[in-house]
Amino acid sequence: MVLIAHISDLHVSHVGFNESAFLRAVDEINALNPDMIILTGDLTENGYYAQFEESKEYLKMFESNLFAIPGNHDARNIGKQSFEDLIGDCSWKLTKDDEDVVVLGLDSTTPDLDDGNIGKLQQLWMENELDKCILENKFSIVAMHHHAIPIPRTGRERNILFDAGDILQSVISHDVDIVIGGHKHVPNLWKMQGTLFVNAGSLSSYKLRGKDVNSYNTIEVTDRDIEIYLNKLDGNKILLGNFKRRDAVDL
């Protein structure tokens, strides 16, 4: 089994960052001891170097390996350069060979713009890696900050992924198992032609809609099933979905 903690939208800053929520999440996730933590962007509020320094110190509190991609807030104020200096590469490939799981992290940001864009070169790289996943029968996960499909309960659609149609075609045609993202601060799960599109809420921002609370997702992948849970930081844990893997073999 592979257990993934999916967190997003920390928005570390002196205003709007809920430190108590973050610290509670750290305790909960460390207790779960996931195989990996995937952070889908917006580590900071403004992309300032000092905010990335602060974010890095907070992220050190997690005991499991953590892999992050930038969000639109991180791309402000030359933030992508700061991200690479302090956090790591903006796009990457993670392979967990003993469990046949591959995670591709994509940078969907454009400097100083809230809208998203993967771009042709990154799309071609993704497709090449996904071709390998098909040939090697790997379970594939694609992570990006911006949502490829609109999220309910978020009002007028804005800050879109400009090339969402092309990216959707790529992930569907390559039998991607899960696409994860953040950005909207609203947890959600869609299933389209066998691919799960999982959005995380905000882990530690005060910018929440209605009665929403800070939260994170957990994804459990076995050789037969996928279970996805919404973990609210008020103590409630909700099963978002239980699905049979597309490559599961009936015995």
Tell me the three state secondary structure of residue 224: coil
Distance CA 133, CA 33 (A): 26
Position 228 in a domain: yes
Q: Tell me: the pLDDT tens digits for 68-85?
A: 999 999 999 999 999 999
- Mean pLDDT for 222-229 is 96
Residue 133 tokens, joined:
């996943």
Integer Cα distance of 103 and 100 in angstroms: 10
Backbone angles phi, psi at 181, to 5 degrees: -160, -175
Over residues 161-182, the mean pLDDT reads 98
Residue 23 lies in a domain: yes
The reply to whether 249 falls in a domain is: no
Beta bridge partners of 105: 92, 143
DSSP state, residue 6: E
* Number of folded domains that form the chain: 1
pLDDT at residue number 247 = 78
pLDDT for the residue numbered 251: 46
Distances 35 to 95, 96, 99, 218, 225 between C-alpha atoms, Å: 12, 9, 11, 11, 17
Position 191 pLDDT exceeds 70: yes
Report which residue type is found at 106: L
Residue 212 lies in a domain: yes
86 in a structural domain? yes
Residue 251 lies in a domain: no
Q: What is the rounded distance in angstroms from the CA atom of residue 35 to the CA atom of residue 2?
A: 6
Whether the per-residue pLDDT at 134 is higher than 60: the answer is: yes
pTM for the whole structure: 0.96
**Residues 36/103, Cβ–Cβ less than 8 Å:** yes
Q: What is the CATH number of the domain that holds 158?
A: 3.60.21.10
Considering the domain boundaries, does residue 93 fall inside one?
yes
- Residues spanned by the domain of 158: 2-244
Q: Reading across the β-sheet that carries 215-221, which strands appear in turn?
A: 66-69, 36-40, 2-7, 215-221, 225-232, 237-244
